[in-house]
Amino acid sequence: MKVTIIGSGYVGLVTGACLADLGNEVLCLDVDAAKVAMLSEGRVPIHEPGLDDVVQRNVAAGRLRFSVDPVEAGRHGKVQFIAVGTPQDEDGSADLQHVLAAARQVGRHMDGWRVVVDKSTVPVGTAARVRAAILEELQVRGADLSFSVISNPEFLKEGAALEDFMRPDRIVVGSDDEKATAVMRQLYAPFERNHSKLMVMDVASAELTKYAANAMLATRISFMNEMALLADALGADIDAVRRGIGSDRRIGSHFLYAGCGYGGSCFPKDVRALARSAAVANVPMRLLNAVDAVNERQKHVLIDKVERRFGADLHGRVFALWGLAFKAGTDDVREAPSQVIARELCRRGAVVRAYDPVAEGQARRVLDDVSGLEFVNSAMAALHGADALVIVTEWKEFRSPDLERMRSQMRTPVIFDGRNILEPAAARAAGFEYSGIGRP
């Protein structure tokens, strides 16, 4: 099947590469000529495990192409995926300007019946706005062409996106058009061989499903972070609590890890956008507002621990910062706790030596205004002469470090573990003062 993907960012590129890998002819459209040139050579501008191999393989096979030409894109695919960004607007809502611009572009250049698929995370009612934008362009052209607009939200985890796409838990399709639904069934037929993954529902329900899923996961994280603060106060171990409640099949074990807060391009933005949509509908989301507030507070928990140990004035202090990405497996630093922690430590006069195996480039761009922040090329280099280590990202290489060597590098053997990845007893046996999140 011929497929056009409008937007070759994270979602668009993964979607396009995986559909091409299934034998489809995919054209990815982007406005960034430099990015298109890079991708056309098989080079991937983002860090996602395995993605570069899939892109290179399908570019070489001719199934995956990239273009800046909207005319070519509009005429190529019977299925037109809109996979552009929906950044947070000033009032917390999703900014749909790029989605609607993509829709107008489809209307200007389509030359036959099209299935227009909202892949971007968008609020309820967006499909109707996309439909109106396309109709407006067709009327300007005087073109009598039919089309369908459906919702097919993505459920990709950064760091595991290929696995999520190729082995999905479910494929949600919001459609009120049988012909369009049949096309989507054909497109996703390779995933239906063992048992049905496709869930067809009305468009509004599909749009809401994506937001509800992310809001639920964010809620679990913030709940455990609240419990971790209580565990700190009461002398309980949040890791033991996690195992205790996670063994209950009604609850399950996923997204129950306490830490220094969630980040990334999805959870913070989507929780706020859903709350904003609810407010517009006059249905206040008190729980979602609390989830967001708890998370923002949690990003300061390690700073509070540092202050209790070293005081508010950190001039002359050096802190090693392990991890800049909001989670392991990605170079994404958007809304990452590391940004808050690095800025606050440096604001108080400290020198921060930061190391991340893949996210340094992205972090340099967003933290280039921070005086006192240095980037180093290894975890051990960050520790040299440090008064304390602050662990912010749960990279595998941080899980079993040489504690004796670490202690020999540091001026003061203190660890603030924002992801609870070290064993407290082992750290203390090696001579460290260890402080985790909700761990006695």
Which residues are catalytically annotated? 266
Burial degree of 196 (CB within 10 A; 0-12, 13-18, 19+): exposed
Of 44, 60, 64, the closest CA to residue 52 belongs to: 44
Separation CA 308–CA 269 (nearest Å): 32
Token pair for 41: 């050579």
Q: For residue 189, how many C-alpha atoms fall within 13 Å in the half-sphere facing its CB?
A: 8
* Cβ–Cβ < 8 Å for 201, 172: yes
* Helix 203-234 × helix 286-298 angle, to 10°: 50
Burial degree of 155 (CB within 10 A; 0-12, 13-18, 19+): middle
* Cβ–Cβ < 8 Å for 152, 206: yes
Separation CA 350–CA 168 (nearest Å): 45
Strand partners, 171: 198
Q: Which whole-number Å values give the CA distances from 335 to 298, 378, 436, in the listed order?
A: 12, 23, 21
Separation CA 354–CA 364 (nearest Å): 10
Secondary structure letter of residue 423 according to DSSP: -
Q: Which residues of 260-298 are buried (b: 16+ CB within 10 A; e: fewer)?
A: bbbbbbbbbbbbbbbbbbbbeeeeebeebbebbebbeeb
Of 96, 102, 99, the closest CA to residue 74 belongs to: 102
Separation CA 173–CA 198 (nearest Å): 7
Secondary structure letter of residue 277 according to DSSP: H
* Single-letter residue type at 328: A
* Cβ–Cβ < 8 Å for 423, 403: no
Secondary structure letter of residue 88 according to DSSP: B
Separation CA 92–CA 128 (nearest Å): 21
